[in-house]
Structure 1
Amino acid sequence: MTSIAETSRDRSTMSEPAALSREDQYAQRVALFYRETVRPQMDGTVGDVRPEWAIDAETGKYLYDLTRELKPRVSIEVGLCQAASAMHFLSAIAANGSGFHMAIDPFQDQFFQDQGLTTINRLGLAPWFTLLRSRSATALSMLHSAGMTADLMFIDGDHRFDAVFTDYYFADKLLRVGGYLIFDEGGYECPTERIVAFVTTNMPNYERLASPTRLYVFRKTGPDEREFGDSFNF
């Protein structure tokens, strides 16, 4: 994977007193992120960023709390963009003191001038983070072939139907039983709901959970025991 993986080596951190609790450190990161990263990007200073692309702080807190509780060894995110969701995942992993988070984004430099990666470095979260600069279908299939498993999969990349479904297909292969699968609608009029309907209707080994409005959250309760050639419905 070394040909497509980039582990950030910038270990610069925020200036924060050692006395701050883990939750206070998280609150400080959130305040800094939404003030200095999201707002300027919404104003059009970085790439073609739309306001709805960055998850709000309340939704991010849900991801943070879930990650704190789950304590994933490995979490994987499709689509880094501004690092809004990654910041919450990584803050929880840093507070847990173990695990790492991987993001897949082939357009981080082309469309976002590496702002997501820069933000992760600036917030002191680089030690727990790896960026794969590859299309998700390629990266996820390679990770699966390499025998990797994940405890949490977050899908928020290409929002076209075939791309979302492909991301789901490989996410299911990587996700361990008991792990969490999360789709982000991202404010688009996009086909994610149809993929969610497929999982809800046809995959009895996934349990849908209550979640913030823009997220669809599932827990994988068991292996896929469908028969070869089983039909499906939307």
Structure 2
Amino acid sequence: MNFDNFDGIDIVDKISLLRNCKSAERNIMISPYNAIANSRAALEILCKGLIKKNNVEQIKPQPKICKNCNMPIEDTVNLPPNLATMIDTCLKEGLFTNEDAAALIRKNGNDTLHANKGAQKLHVVNAKNIEKAGSCVQALYTLFKEVFGQELLVPDFDLNKVPFGYYEIVRAVPKAPNEVICGDNNYFVKDPQENYYYFQVFHRNSMEERDNELGARGVLTGNKIKEEKVIY
């Protein structure tokens, strides 16, 4: 998977950071909600780590002003840093420069923080949500490449390396014109025990939650045919 390229980074809380990044990538195809939530969590850990590593002053949230008395609202004074101010700090100090990537992750990630209709819709496994999740994970990868890329010489993000959960894609096979599957490909995949499968994935638009081996939330079915020989 793509974020394996960053196993050699040196940053505060590296284990938690990479765990969130890899969880985000694994969840793109099976749980867009979790992919976006993990991307946001990873961005926050990244910002905290960069700020601490470079020993820069953290921008503080501005208090809200009372419209009637034109004075700061007490409950909003001296609040701890939030993701928005962490991003602003990193941009101001030049710790990374891709404001659009950070804003995309924060905007979509905020939708996962509240129990509203927006968050509920993200639980549905469909092409729209998969695309949104994928854009967040790719934006996160872009930030990582900017921050760590010169040190590690990592390649660009490769969509063909995005796994289905813990099923790693070995080879993508273009689908036939009459195949009704999600995306453009069928896949040869392998599980953590090195078992190989031919994999077709069908996504259905549904608010129903159903547990299955590829992940909960929404309905996802896979036609998984085990291969008896190793696929190269």
Please confirm whether the aligned pair reaches a TM-score higher than 0.5, indicating the same fold.
no
Higher strand residue share:
1
When Rg is computed on C-alpha atoms for both structures, the one with the higher figure is 2
TM-score (norm 2): 0.28
